[in-house]
Structure 1
Amino acid sequence: MSARTIVLPLAQIEGQHLIALLDEFLLLVDAPERDEDAALQRLTPTAYPDDDEASQEYAMLTRGDLLDRRSQDAALVRADLAVFEREDGLTRRDAMRPRDAVIAGDHLDAWLRTLTALRLVLATRIGITSADAHDPDDERFGVYDWLGYRLEGLIQAADERDARF
């Protein structure tokens, strides 16, 4: 492993859940009817909020490429999680067993963009518009919060790694 590599320890079950989220995300960004989804609109915000014509033209020229990039990033992250592929019949102890997701330095940006995109999609789905605008009883908020925790951990690891160089 290179000094630029980041190791992200995850419980087996966390890795499996992240793979499931990535699979759903890939279905979303690769869907032919993707133009009508509010979550995708949040991933590709309006470039010119005061000019509908310019915004539509910009979206027509860039939206497909942006969503394709998001798909490529998510596929790369999913490949990095291969060690967590679903194992049938896991005991509770096995499910909680930590494993390492090894993130090469050139994959880190894809990880950061993908976890952020997952949070944006989830925020749209559960109606989060500000830090305190959510239903604390909604189980999906726990996933949103967990993604934020993992994203923050990656940012800190990247900062520490970069401080050494």
Structure 2
Amino acid sequence: MAGSGIRVPMQAIEAQQLAELVDQFLELLRDTEIGQDSALDRLTPSVYPQDPEASAEFAEATSADLLDRRAADARVVRDGLEAASDDHAPMPEELVIRDADVDAWLRTLAALRLVIASRLGIENQLAPDPEDPRLGVYEWLGYRLDVLVEAADALDDASDG
């Protein structure tokens, strides 16, 4: 990927694993309906917890659009990862994320963490089973999200200054 953007360190194996996670996320969004999976429900939280009827009405009106936008964001991430490894050369140790794609990356990594948190049973800061291998993925995504936020902040600071 050439041009301006945010540069983040990422090894080829990490990019491959992230691409697999994004593919699984897209599959979840495509194949699962609201109410069938708590992880998907967590991506569309209740906006009126004290009023289930109003919350259900709001969800019916907005959930499909919200999930479509999450899928579009995930495809941006997937396309970026694919473009980084397209030229049959080894992926560089640094991934360049186009400025226009940063928000989609942030939203997708955060959504992936929410899905995994739901799978781990993490609710309101409860500690998951430290032996669960998904915890490592959850923590790695948190690290990736932090790195991306720091790079985006540095880019904002540079453009403001």
The verdict on a shared fold, with TM-score over 0.5 as the criterion, is: yes
Partners of 1:9 and 1:101 within 8 A in 2: yes
Task: Give me the whole-angstrom Cα distance separating, in 2, the residues matched to 1:62 and 1:21.
Answer: 25
Letter in 2 for 1:154: L
Aligned equivalents of 2:122 and 2:85: distance in 1?
Answer: 29
Partner residue of 1:142 out of 136, 142, 145? 136
* TM-score of the pair, normalised by structure 2: 0.89
Could you tell me which amino acid in structure 2 is paired with residue 147 of structure 1? L
Q: In the alignment, is residue 14 of structure 1 matched against residue 14 of structure 2?
A: yes
> Is residue 100 of structure 2 the alignment partner of residue 106 of structure 1?
yes
Q: What secondary structure does 1:50 align onto? A: coil
Runs of 4+ residues over 3 Å off in structure 1: 32-35
Offset at residue 33 of structure 1 (A): 3.4
Letter in 2 for 1:53: E
Equivalence for 2:80: 80
1:124 counterpart = 2:118: yes
- Aligned residues, how many? 154
Gaps of 5+ in 2: none
Structure 1: which amino acid aligns with 2:139?
D
Unaligned runs of 5+ in 1: 88-93
Pair 1:164 & 2:153 matched: no
* C-alpha distance in 1 between matches for 2:75 and 2:41: 20
Following the alignment from structure 1 to structure 2, what is the Cα–Cα distance between the partners of residues 47 and 33?
18
Give the alignment's TM-score, normalised by structure 1: 0.87
Helix, strand or coil at the partner of 2:8: strand
Q: CA deviation at 1:84?
A: 4.0
Identity of aligned residues (%): 51
Q: Secondary structure at the match of 1:116?
A: helix
The structural deviation recorded for 1:36 is 1.1
Amino acid at match of 1:123: A
